[in-house]
Structure 1
């Protein structure tokens, strides 16, 4: 067992992916500005425990998470102190919330008015608030930067939030809080946190998108006027391409290998190359046309891209405008498909700037084991914010007393290799709203908190006020300085 220095803190993030459940543990000094350092990375195949990014089989998921944590703690010699979980996949979307206060006579707005207005906002039935991008205030119908001190007859706050279906968080809580008896930190949304690391202020101002190409889902985050304006999850990804290739009479495993090793979005009719592949019995060789393989890949990718374009067009007002002046940034395991950046550019008429996330996007220059692999980019972004969060609380709640200690050799990272209502645009989206409902087992538990829940289990708490849950009062006035309209769902 390794000796660990007492002036260090560790943070762990769980990512419930459709292909694998990933665990990353990072370490940093409890005091000082030094960046965090990834010291452990491991994964367990999802194998049906997680479907479309949502915890589906509670027992299987809890057993896989238990194995991940046991291996991590045995290898590192310490108990994981702070555990964060990602919420992604099906059910995740943006939602515009508005709250209005009207007065009988001209009234000078006070901070108390702001807090009272904020406190009236409650979670819609069946939804769980995860993130608030910004708050925008208007007085008597006109946008204002700082409403306190302004006389008004009507005060309104508009908040662009990210929510998920309550069943999604209920299942995560059932696994981590109740089955595994773990303490759980606030949820993180990987694509939102990653956008803060890889999109520039200018890109967000003029219109850009971050697209995460996953195994069973493709997540589109559209930014304009400096803020998140739409987040949608398309229930298709790289696994659908693999499944399509099985029509060539090859096994799913062989289809995945062929896709990675030989697949491309560059369709060349003169390509007569034949590939030697294994038949479903995995013993007999057979030949398939490389051009035929790429036809399957292009057909499904075309469908996914059409959905991405529709998401962006809807966010911009539904008039068919899907232009992205700020370009598109892509990530995710399925983004490694050969020719994807060029294909995306072509589908936007050759005018789109497409960049693939790489280590150059991250300023700290470290954690190459995460930043160099597109499958781990959201994991890195979540570790980043989790470390900032824990370090701040550690300084306030648990001040470090300097102690003499013997500095042991720094551990190297241990990486375990793995074996083995969306839109109304007919003719574009290949799925209906029924497909978007999470296939999860309903439970009614408490919302996550920093302490373990008391048993017997209490009734599920209501959403209540957003005040202090999503953004602090000091951040209430972080908003766009334009009068543009929101273009996403309203409540």
Structure 2
């Protein structure tokens, strides 16, 4: 039987599907890669048009099936884009003196945090920071004694409408979701080293329409934010020099520099737009650097002040925007952080014959990170040849998955995992059944207590007194 993992990333400029095999030695082999333009259906990393996105997803799965010659039972999906942000939350529980902390108590804290509500926001994930037992901070409080425990959480939120739209797209396309992961965290696990996470670092993913900042310290995610600025903003600024965006993009790739020493600019040089027009190199550099400076400063502003001096691992930049010439110098010139690494590829060993993968330019890092997260075989039955096999829009939608019939407890959810709509619905029903059962048990207990009181000595005596009092007050004939 065939075995492969399929992952799909919905980016601002493209929707990408990948299929690969995870080998026993820990390496990965890419078997297929499909890219579809997303400019008409995705904006700033979130679904803008459900129908067009569903159509693109159907096309991607259909093309992957043709290359793999197998049905695709389900896929792994990355969740990212605009509106994702992190907020801190503290759950407190007071206990009797000298209480030994148990795993059930920790689960109660986690559940209480998961049940928090935010206006128009969905909790996508909850990153544990640390626990505080009385006055002592710890990552594992089970077995400790105390009378007061606090759970410090970092809740990662996303706009509920964006979350619903994403789920609706896959449902409309008939594609079952094996697991949803937060793209920034899947990326972090594939480009950051353990030393960088432990010592403290800031991962900055420079995308087309957004820039994502994730801050780690002592192996714990401390902050996550998405800035609505990216490489496309630079392109649009260049286009303001009286040219089409397509020409501006070409000029950005050919001439743009994130940082230029004023003495290095030759004002006599003009950059050619086409056969008839050109733009002054100095003006071009000023436009590019002004926007780059804005992106860099906004990204650096997202690093919490209490961690700025603790980033022993430095800054790690990645994504398509990290290919801009002198991008490291642009960050270095606006911060005191000297340690800056450009992560052009994932830390896993990946083999592929695809030139887009082998380019190792940072554009496929998130997608490879999502594939690395997969641990459930996505291969279905072998594709049976039919007259319409090579019609890219004729693929039969996958049957609804039964992977999420049994929901997981809060402590069983892997960091970075986002519950699907199907999982949330199963969990909602489970909670309703639990509440109904608890109400029935409480009602039964009240009934038993009433019967017990009724049949007790004092209950019988009370009834006799009432009966006697009633008979004394009855009028005589």
TM-score in same-fold range (> 0.5): yes
Matching of residue 356 in structure 1 with residue 356 in structure 2: no
Distance 1:44 1:145 in 2: 43
Specify whether residues 149 and 322 from structure 1 end up closer, same or farther in structure 2 by C-alpha distance, changes over 3 A only.
closer
Greater helix content? 2
Which residue pairs with 1:295 in the alignment? 286
The 10-residue stretch of structure 1 (262-271 or 362-371) with the greater mean CA deviation from structure 2: 362-371
Aligned partner of residue 48 in structure 1, secondary structure: coil
Moved over 4 A (4+): none
Matching of residue 341 in structure 1 with residue 328 in structure 2: yes
Structure 2 matches for 1:342-421, cutoff 5 A?
Answer: 342-349=329-336, 351-359=337-345, 362-367=347-352, 369-370=356-357, 372-386=360-374, 389-390=375-376
Matching of residue 72 in structure 1 with residue 64 in structure 2: yes
Residues 107 and 410 of structure 2 are in contact (CA less than 8 Å); yes or no, is this contact kept in structure 1? no
Which residue pairs with 1:111 in the alignment? 103
2:55 to 63, 81, 92: 63
Residues 277 and 286 of structure 1 are in contact (CA less than 8 Å); yes or no, is this contact kept in structure 2? yes
2:169 to 170, 175, 183: 175
Distance 2:211 2:26 in 1: 34
Which residue pairs with 1:38 in the alignment? 30
The 10-residue stretch of structure 1 (189-198 or 294-303) with the greater mean CA deviation from structure 2: 189-198
Taking structure 2 as the reference length, what is the TM-score of the superposition? 0.75
Structure 2 matches for 1:1-40, cutoff 5 A?
Answer: 6=1, 8-28=2-22, 32-33=24-25, 35-40=27-32
1:235 to 215, 228, 232: 228
CA RMSD of aligned residues (A): 2.9
Q: Deviations over 1:274-323 (max 9, x none)?
A: 12213xxxxx62121122211111000011111112111xx1249xx577
Distance 2:56 2:4 in 1: 21
How big is the shift at 1:135?
Answer: 4.8
Distance 2:267 2:194 in 1: 43
Which residue pairs with 1:421 in the alignment? none
Distance 1:365 1:187 in 2: 22
Aligned partner of residue 4 in structure 2, secondary structure: strand
Matching of residue 316 in structure 1 with residue 305 in structure 2: yes
Specify whether residues 229 and 36 from structure 1 end up closer, same or farther in structure 2 by C-alpha distance, changes over 3 A only.
same
Matching of residue 248 in structure 1 with residue 241 in structure 2: yes
Q: Which runs of 5+ in 2 are unaligned?
A: 381-391, 393-399, 417-477
Distance 1:384 1:324 in 2: 26
Which residue pairs with 1:460 in the alignment? none
Residues 324 and 352 of structure 1 are in contact (CA less than 8 Å); yes or no, is this contact kept in structure 2? no
Specify whether residues 353 and 145 from structure 1 end up closer, same or farther in structure 2 by C-alpha distance, changes over 3 A only.
closer
Taking structure 1 as the reference length, what is the TM-score of the superposition? 0.73
Distance 1:116 1:226 in 2: 24
Which residue pairs with 1:198 in the alignment? 191
Distance 2:125 2:111 in 1: 16
Residues 225 and 302 of structure 2 are in contact (CA less than 8 Å); yes or no, is this contact kept in structure 1? yes
How big is the shift at 1:248?
Answer: 1.1
Aligned partner of residue 154 in structure 2, secondary structure: strand
1:96 to 88, 91, 94: 88
Distance 2:108 2:212 in 1: 35
Which residue pairs with 1:482 in the alignment? none
Matching of residue 326 in structure 1 with residue 298 in structure 2: no
Residues 370 and 377 of structure 1 are in contact (CA less than 8 Å); yes or no, is this contact kept in structure 2? no
Distance 1:450 1:165 in 2: 25
Residues 93 and 231 of structure 1 are in contact (CA less than 8 Å); yes or no, is this contact kept in structure 2? yes
Distance 1:277 1:146 in 2: 61
Q: Deviations over 1:123-172 (max 9, x none)?
A: 42333333444352211132134423332211222223433222222111
Residues 10 and 82 of structure 1 are in contact (CA less than 8 Å); yes or no, is this contact kept in structure 2? no
Aligned partner of residue 316 in structure 2, secondary structure: strand
Q: Deviations over 1:194-215 (max 9, x none)?
A: 2223223332233311110001
Aligned partner of residue 248 in structure 2, secondary structure: helix
Specify whether residues 244 and 323 from structure 1 end up closer, same or farther in structure 2 by C-alpha distance, changes over 3 A only.
farther
Structure 2 matches for 1:141-160, cutoff 5 A?
Answer: 141-160=135-154
Q: Deviations over 1:462-491 (max 9, x none)?
A: x9963433459xxxxxxxxxxxxxxxxxxx
Aligned partner of residue 87 in structure 2, secondary structure: strand
Q: Which runs of 5+ in 1 are unaligned?
A: 1-5, 279-283, 399-415, 417-448, 455-462, 473-491
Residues 28 and 349 of structure 2 are in contact (CA less than 8 Å); yes or no, is this contact kept in structure 1? no
Aligned partner of residue 374 in structure 1, secondary structure: coil
Which residue pairs with 1:468 in the alignment? 412
Which residue pairs with 2:422 in the alignment? none
How big is the shift at 1:33?
Answer: 4.4
The 10-residue stretch of structure 1 (195-204 or 297-306) with the greater mean CA deviation from structure 2: 195-204
Which residue pairs with 1:419 in the alignment? none
Specify whether residues 303 and 150 from structure 1 end up closer, same or farther in structure 2 by C-alpha distance, changes over 3 A only.
same
Aligned partner of residue 375 in structure 1, secondary structure: coil
Aligned partner of residue 175 in structure 2, secondary structure: coil
Aligned partner of residue 47 in structure 1, secondary structure: coil
Specify whether residues 145 and 217 from structure 1 end up closer, same or farther in structure 2 by C-alpha distance, changes over 3 A only.
closer
Distance 2:93 2:175 in 1: 41
Distance 1:45 1:67 in 2: 11
Residues 27 and 348 of structure 2 are in contact (CA less than 8 Å); yes or no, is this contact kept in structure 1? no
